[in-house]
Amino acid sequence: MIFDTTLYLTVLITLFVIMDPPGAIPVFLSLVGRKSKEARNKAAWQAPAVSLTVITVFAIGGQAILNYLHIGIPALQGAGGLLLLIIALSLLTGRGAGGGSEAEDVNVALVPLGTPLMAGPGAIAAVIVYVSQADGNVGSLIAIALAIVTIHLVFFLVLRFSTVLIRILGEGGITLLARIAGLLLAAIAVQLIADSVRGFITGG
């Protein structure tokens, strides 16, 4: 068994570009900015944990799951795009940046942070492809697994330490950030839906 350093770096860089940890900061702050410090810190580790769980499940049996349910990557992209669009509209209209109940804390970590923002169609598809290319090679599979764990550690550190910006932004800054995050999420959602349509056309 030989650890594949090149594959580790390739998967890590690919996931970093697709998942974009710095790009998640505006969305994260807009969703947790008005919550307590404990709730913010909780969401900072819950969201990567949810994403890690989802991506791990798809890494292990993703292709089998998609085949069993007769779901293609374009369908996954379309569903993720629609879900993000709903969240984006709530942020743009001011209904998604507040709240303080425990249920909302958990939901923020699950949706949209954990999935589909982190564990989105792009990241899931990339992991499935890399695992299939590994073809059972233990060294390659370990490299892929370590890359997945590493990117989620990066996510945790980015989200955890981004909360210091809340004191600088203040109430008005968080509201503005929520609108900007909503616009960015809407753009991502539209792109996912466009990719989904393109995938259905070319696949068909």
Hey, how many other C-beta atoms are within 10 angstroms of the C-beta on 203?
Answer: 9
What is the arithmetic mean of pLDDT over 7-36? 90
CA distance 22 to 29: 12
Residues whose CB falls within 8 Å of the CB of residue 199, separated by 6 or more in sequence, listed in order = 72, 73, 74, 77
What is the arithmetic mean of pLDDT over 136-153? 95
Claim: this prediction has a pTM higher than 0.75 = yes
- 108: pLDDT strictly greater than 70: yes
- 99: pLDDT strictly greater than 50: no
Asked, as a colleague might, if the bond just before 112 is cis with ω within 30 of 0, I would say: yes
Asked if 46 contacts 35 with a C-beta cutoff of 8 angstroms, the reply is no
CA distance 130 to 70: 21
Residue 26: φ, ψ to 5°: -60, -40
SS (H, E, C) 45-96: HHHHHHHHHHHHHHHHHHHHHHHHCCCCHHHHHHHHHHHHHHHHHHHHCCCC
Radius of gyration of the chain (CA): 17
- 176: pLDDT strictly greater than 90: no
